[in-house]
Structure 1
C-alpha cells in the first residue's frame, strides 16, 4: 500500500482497537453501580463473564470466516454490531437485557480485536508487520491505564448508561474512517464450515467458564466438578474433530511447524503469567504494604507502562532488522526473573521496589506480546492467516481466564485458612485492616505475603516454560517480500 494510505489504515485500525479495549476496562469500574441500580448485585459478574465468554467463543469462528470472505467484511459488520449492542446496553432495564446486550457486544468485540491484526497481515510484508502490530497492540495497555479512570468519571458525573453510549460517537467516526481506509481484501473462497467443531468448542468454553467461576465460591465448589468433566469431554471431542475434518476451525496440522507451535505457547504464557495476576495486585499491596486504593494502583500502572514502551520499541526494532528471536528469549527471561523476585520480596519495603520489579515484568512481556503474532502470521499459509491469528489470541485469552480463576481460588482459600479466628474472611476489607491495631495489620500483611509468594513463583515458572519455548524457536529473519512462500521448517521466516 502507498505509505499515506497505510498510515490512514493503521490509524483507523488503532481507533477501533482502542474502542474495543476501552469498553472492557471502562465497564469494570462501574460494575457495582450498574448491578445495584438494576437490583441484581448477585449477578454482577455476568456483565463481564457474558462479554468475555462470547468474545472467546467467536475468535476462532470469525478467524475462519475472515479467511473465507475477506477480513474487511467481518471487520465492518463487527463494528456496526458493536455500536448497536452498545446502544442496547445503555437502554437495558434489567440484568437480563443488559447481559444479553453484553453477549452481542462481546461477540462483535472478537471481530474488532482479531480483524485489525488479520488486515495488517494481509497488507504488509512480514518485516513491516511487527511495527504496525505493536501500534495496534498498544490499545490494550492504553485501555488499562485510562479506562478505569474514564469509567469512574462517567459513573460519578453522568450516568452508567453513558459508559456504553460513549462508544456511539467515537464508533461512528471510526466506522466512517474504516469505510475509507480499509481496502477490499478478497477471501480465499467459500469452504465447508466446521459446524461440529464450533459447537463442541462453544460447549467446552461455556462449561470451562462455569467451572472456574463456581470453584471459587465455597457454596458451588463441589458442583464445579460436573462442568469440568463436560469441558474436558468437549475439548477432547473438539480436538478429534479438528484432526478429521477437511476444513478445521483451527488447523492443528500447522502446529507441526516449530515456529507456530513455539509462538502460540509464548502467547499463552502472556495470559497465564501476567494478565491473570494484574487484577489482584492492588488488593495485595493494600493488604501487604498497607497502601490506599489509589496508591496500590501505581504498581499495575508501572507494569502496564513498561509493557507499552517495550511493545512499541521491540516492534520498531524488529521491523528495522528482521531479527525477532532474541526478543522472544529476553522477554520471558525478564518476566521470570521479575516474578521470582516478587516471590522473595519481604513486606515493608518502599513501594518503588515492587513497582520497579513489576515494571521489569511488564517490559519483558511487552517484548514479545505483539511480536509473536507477527511471527506466527509470517509462518502460516496466507489462506490460514485469520485462523492462526485467532488461535494465538485464543490461547492467551483462555490462559488468562483459567489462571485468573485459579489465582482467585488460591488466594481466597489461603487467606481464609491463615487468618486468626477473630477476623472474618468474608468481611475482610482493606479499610477494616487499616483501622485495626498495628499488630493485626502486621499479621494480615504477613499472611498475604505468604499466600502470594507461591503464586508469584508459580507464574515465574510459567514464564520459564515460555523461555524454553522461545529457545526452541528456529533462527531466522522476517522477510521483506510481500508474498509468503513455503520455507524450510528450520528457517520458516527467512526470505
Structure 2
C-alpha cells in the first residue's frame, strides 16, 4: 500500500480536536520551485542532466576566447583568400611560364580540392577532435603554400595548388565548426558577423593583395606570405585552445563509423562535374567526349551517393534501431536532408556562391583587359564590394542574433538574393568605355551586400537547425556547396570567355599570338587587336551576368523553403537543439544499457 497523501482540507478530527499550537495548521501545499536564472549557454529544461548542461558553449575566459577566435578566423581568412588571391596574378604567371591555356587551372586546382574535401575534414574532426584536425590542415596548407612559391613550371604549380587546397579545405570546414561550438550564446551574433565578414572580405581582398604583391615584389610572394602569417596563427590557436572544462561535451566517433565510400563519391561527383566546364574554355565543342564523359560520370557518382546513403540508412535501422548514439557518420546525413529549412539553405548557399566567386574572378580580368588597369588597380576597384560585403554580415548579426527577438533568416536570405540579382542585372546594361565607370563599381556594391547577408545568415541558420551530433557535417556541407557553386561559376565564366575568344580568332581579327601579348606585353597589340580583345571580354562578361541572373532567380525560388510561420529567437532554437541532444543521449543510454560517450575530448 502506498502512503496516503494528505488533502488540502483538514480532516474533521482536526476541526473538533483542540490543538496545542497557537496558530491554525496550514494545509499541505505542493511546493512551487522557482527556476534558477539561466546562465549564458545553459539549458532551461527542468529535466536537464549534468551532462546535458555541457552540450552548449561554456564560459571561456574572455582573453583566451578572443585569442582563439583570432587564430581560427585568420586560418579561415587565409584559406578563403587563397581561392581569389591569384585572380590578379594569372597574367603574370602565364607570362613567366609561357602557358596561357592552362593558367586558369592555377585557380581551379585549388578550388576543386578545396570544395571536395570539406565534408571529409568535418568527419575527420569528429574522430581526431577539432584541435588536431585544424592543426593538421594548417600544416598541410603552409607546407604546400611555400612549395607553390618555389614551383618551376606550370604543371608543378598546379599540382602544389591542388595539395594546398586540401589543407585549405580543412581550415575552412573545421573553422566553421569550431567557432559556433565554442562561442557563448550571448556572443553568437558577433561571431556570425565575424565569420560572414571573413568570407565576404577575403574574396574581395584577395585580388587586392595579389595585385600589390605581384606588382611590387613577385607573384611567388602570393604563396610565400602564407608561411609566416600561418605559422603565427597556428601558434596562437594552439596556445589559446581552452581547457576541458571550458569545452562543450561532444561525442567522439570511431574510424569505422566514418562513411569513406560516401566521402569518395562526394569528392568524385564534385570534381567531375566542375572539370568539364573548365575544360570547355579551350575545347572547341560542348558535345565532345572530353566534356560529356566526366560530366556524366560526375552525375552518376552523385546519384550513387544518394543511393549509398539510402542503403546505409536502411542498414542502420535494421542492425541498431534502438541506439542512435552509434549511427554511421554519413558523408551526406539523411537527417539533414530531411530538414526542409536546412536543405533549402544549403541549396541557397550553392546558388549564391556561383555569382559571387564568378564576379571575384571575372571583373579583375575585365578591368585589366578592357580598361587597361594594372593588377593592383584591378584589385582596388573591388574595394566597394568588400565594404558592402562586410556591412551585410554586420546587418545579419544585428537582425537575427539579439536575444528575445525572433530570427528573420527567411527575410535576410531573400533580401540577399534580391540584392545580388539587382546588381548582376544592372551590370548587364553597363556598356564599356575608355575608363572604369563609377556605376560599374556601384552595381557591384549590391552583389557584395547581398553576399554578406547570405554568408552570415546561412552560417547562423545552420548552427540553429542542425542537430548537435551532426553539427560538424552540417557546417562542412554548407562550406562545401558554397565553394562548389563558386567553382562552377568560375568554370562557366572561363568556358564563356573561351567561346568568345575562339569566335574572334575564327573571324581573323585576333591572331593567336595576340593572347600571349595580352599577358606579357600589352603594348605590342595594335588598336584593332585591342578592340577585338575588349569586345570578346565585354561580351563574355555580359553573358556571365545573364547566367548569374538566372541562377539568382532560381535561388529566390529555393529560398522560399526557408520560411517558417512560427518563429522564435536564435537562442531559443539553440536551446531546443541542446534539449534534443540530451534526449538522444538518454535514449541511447536506455537502449544500450551503457552511458553514451560524452567525453569533452572530442573537441580537443
- When normalised by structure 2's length, the TM-score is 0.71
Q: In the comparison of the two structures, how many residue pairs are matched?
A: 485
Distance 2:162 2:394 in 1: 32
Q: Residue 494 of structure 2 aligns with which residue? A: 408
Say which of 471, 474, 479 aligns to 2:563: 474
**Which runs of structure 2 are paired with 1:87-102 in the superposition (5 Å)?**
87-95=146-154, 97-102=156-161
Which of 281, 300, 303 is equivalent to 1:236? 303
CA contact (8 A) 1:335 1:361 kept: yes
Of 85-94 and 384-393, more deviation after overlay is shown by 85-94
Q: Which has the higher helix share?
A: 1
Contact residue 67 and residue 383 of structure 1 kept, 8 A: no
Could you tell which deviates more after superposition, 57-66 or 237-246? 237-246
Match of 1:310 in 2: 392
Aligned to 2:131: 72
- Indicate the residue corresponding to 2:419 in structure 1: 334
Residue 218 of structure 1 aligns to a residue in which SS?
coil
2:3 aligns to what? Answer: none
More divergent stretch after superposition (249-258 vs 346-355): 346-355
Distance (Å, rounded) in 2 between the aligned partners of 1:422 and 1:88: 41
Cα displacement (A) at 1:417: 3.9
Query: Could you tell me how far 1:398 is from its partner in structure 2?
Result: 1.3
Q: CA deviation at 1:111?
A: 1.4
Counterparts of 1:126 and 1:211 in 2: how far apart (Å)? 44
Shift of 1:43: 4.7
Output the CA distance in 2 between the equivalents of 1:341 and 1:333: 12
Distance 1:95 1:70 in 2: 36
> What is the CA-CA distance between 1:363 and the residue it aligns to?
0.9
Q: Any unmatched runs of 5+ in structure 1?
A: 489-495
Which string of whole-angstrom CA distances, capped at 9 and with x for unpartnered residues, describes residues 74-116 of structure 1? 1112112222333433444555554443333211111111112
Work out which of the residue numbers 196, 201, 216 in structure 2 matches 1:142: 201
The C-alpha deviation readout for 1:163-210, integer Å capped at 9, x for no partner, is: 333222222211221012233554443252212112222332332343
**Distance change in 2, residues 1:18/1:286 (3 Å):** closer
In the alignment, structure 1 residue 382 sits paired with structure 2 residue 382? no
Q: Does structure 2 conserve the Cα–Cα contact (< 8 Å) formed by 1:415 and 1:447?
A: yes
The residue that corresponds to 1:492 in the other structure is none
Q: What does 1:92-241 correspond to in 2, within 5 Å?
A: 92-95=151-154, 97-124=156-183, 128-155=187-214, 158=217, 160-183=219-242, 186-190=250-254, 192-218=257-283, 222=288, 223-241=290-308
Identify the match of residue 108 of structure 2 among 42, 46, 49: 49
Match of 1:63 in 2: 122
Residues 341 and 160 of structure 1, relative CA distance in 2, 3 Å threshold: closer
Counterpart residue number, 2:439: 353
The alpha-carbon distance between structure 1 residues 179 and 457, as it changes in their structure 2 partners (threshold 3 A), is same
Alpha-carbon spacing, 1:313–1:236, altered in 2? closer, same or farther (3 Å):
same
* Counterparts of 2:408 and 2:524, CA distance in 1: 47
Larger radius of gyration: 2
Which of 351, 355, 359 is 1:273 aligned to? 355
Mapped partners of 1:32, 1:343: distance in 2: 25
Q: 1:71 to 1:484 in 2, by over 3 A?
A: farther
State the Cα distance separating 1:135 from its structure 2 match.
Answer: 1.0
In the other structure, the counterpart of 1:324 is 408
Aligned to 2:6: none
CA distance in 1, matches of 2:368, 2:413: 33
SS at the partner of 2:571?
coil
Residues 332-360 of structure 1: per-residue CA shift (max 9 Å, x gap)? 11111222222234455971112212211
Shifted more, 362-371 versus 278-287: the winner is 278-287
- RMSD of Structure 2 on Structure 1 (CA): 3.4
Cα distance in 1 between the residues matched to 2:372 and 2:399: 38
SS in 2 for 1:370: helix
Mapping for residues 441-456 of structure 1, pairs under 5 Å: 441=531, 451-456=540-545
Report the CA distance between 1:391 and its aligned residue: 0.9
Q: Structure 1, residues 46-75: CA drift from partner, whole Å, max 9, x if none?
A: 433332222222111011222344322211
Deviates more, 1:318-327 or 1:71-80: 318-327
Contact 1:126–1:478 (8 Å) recurs in 2 = no
Change in Cα spacing, 1:249 to 1:444, as seen in structure 2 (3 Å) is closer
1:485 counterpart residue number: 577
- Mapped to 1, the partners of 2:209 and 2:511 lie a distance apart of 31
Unmatched 5+ stretches in structure 2: 1-58, 317-327, 581-604
Q: What is the CA distance between 1:149 and its match in structure 2?
A: 4.3
Q: Is the Cα contact below 8 Å between 2:421 and 2:553 reproduced in 1?
A: yes
